[in-house]
Structure 1
Amino acid sequence: MAAPASKLLRNFCITLVLSLILLVVLVLVLAFTVFKPQRPIIVVDSVSLLDLNVALTDGVDLNLSINVDLTVENPNKVAFEYSKSTAVVIYRGEKVGEAPIPGGRLPGKGTEKMNLTLTIMGERMLGRSEVFSDVVSGQLSISTLARLAGKVKVMGVVKIHVVASTSCDLIIDVKNGSFGDQLCQFRTRV
């Protein structure tokens, strides 16, 4: 009579192991299909000049503040958690201004609006010899870059690191105190 009990125990163990394997396969299939992480998207809604003061005296006196309105979209079914970051203003390859972006959590399928004020640090920009000729020509070319790095947790277990960024190449019409050409694009990376 001992043989049927051990046979029953063996069949139970085989069934349990096969069930666990099937469950793991099912979770993996769901993780890489239905819950596959997608890249968050940062869209620049608008860019405007808050303050532009230019004076040509012995050199160039320049004060510049830019307002950038962003929308961050999370296409995932799960939350996107991002760490604090910084948006920057770049003039001829050198960082000349910045604004903090606080860390946060964007729920699944959520959208968040952000408003950033980027202030140019005049002393950094004025150290460049090209700034005088750019201001005299009436066009000042700058770029903005906002980057969010974070993670998406699939099934609450698997963490996938994601980076989303957006950049704008801007030409400021110094005489009119407005923007000329604007080219904004977003980039994402998983």
Structure 2
Amino acid sequence: MKRKPVVICCSVLLALIVVLAIVFVALYFTVFRPRSPHVVATVVSTRVSHFNVTPDFPIVLPRLNMSMDVDVTVKNPNYAAFRYGDVVTELTYHGLPVGQSVVLAGEVGARTTQTVGATVVVQADKVVFSPDFIGDVLPKLLDLPDIMLPFQTRTTVAGKAVVLGTFKIRASSAVTCSVSTYPVKQETTADCTSTVNIG
């Protein structure tokens, strides 16, 4: 007779554990399911303070002073803050590294979107002394506004979100942009692709 209350108590406890487990699993795969952050990088402007490819005595070498502003937008769809490390933007010219910027680590709140801006100063000496520079400039010397310099930016973001203090969602994203820059007109067009890795 004394075992019956114990059996009932154990059955209720077991049923409660099963119900809680089902609720927990349901919440995990619906509300708290880990989702990757969405990262978009945009080249918003190019500033050219000096560009000269014609002889300017006593200086006869080409001169270029240029910087690019890149906006990196991170959308966090999770119900937990996404903490990311330093956001690194690298700039290359025909595969040659010619600039880099680093935005310090930060946090994107739960289910919010945040944009961080980065300015990449172009290492002009590496551009003008590149063997590809003459090939880009020479055919357009008679039509300077049409001179186009091709760059590529690569922005990487990596971080994690901790859901319910238990589940860690690690994610990294890389955004690569092919950038066509017209230094005389100070115009820029960009075509970007993004890849995301979870885990």
Gaps of 5+ in 2: 141-146
Q: Deviations over 1:81-124 (max 9, x none)?
A: 11113111122223321111211111112121222101122344
Structure 1 segments (4+ residues) deviating >4 Å: none
The amino acid that maps onto 2:137 is V
Give the paired residue count. Answer: 186
- The residue number in structure 1 matching 2:91 is 89
Report the Cα distance in structure 2 between the residues aligned to 1:153 and 1:69, rounded to whole angstroms: 26
User: If the length of structure 2 is used for normalisation, what is the TM-score?
Assistant: 0.80
Residues 129-168 of structure 1 mapped to structure 2, 5 A cutoff:
129-136=131-138, 137=140, 138-168=147-177
Match of residue 80, structure 2, among 78, 81, 101: 78
The amino acid that maps onto 1:151 is K
Match of residue 52, structure 2, among 47, 50, 55: 55
Contact (CA 8 Å) 1:146, 1:165: kept in 2 or not? yes
Q: Does residue 10 of structure 1 match 2:7?
A: yes
Structure holding more strand per residue: 1
Assess, with a 3 A threshold, how the Cα gap between structure 1 residues 11 and 143 changes in structure 2: closer, same or farther. Answer: same
Report the Cα distance in structure 1 between the residues aligned to 2:23 and 2:126, rounded to whole angstroms: 56
What is the CA distance between 1:157 and its match in structure 2? Answer: 0.7
- The residue number in structure 1 matching 2:144 is none
User: If the length of structure 1 is used for normalisation, what is the TM-score?
Assistant: 0.83
Match of residue 186, structure 2, among 157, 177, 180: 177
- The residue number in structure 1 matching 2:68 is 66
Q: Cα RMSD between the aligned structures?
A: 2.3
Report the Cα distance in structure 1 between the residues aligned to 2:136 and 2:101, rounded to whole angstroms: 24
Contact (CA 8 Å) 1:67, 1:115: kept in 2 or not? yes
- The residue number in structure 1 matching 2:33 is 36
SS class of match (2:154): strand
The amino acid that maps onto 1:184 is C
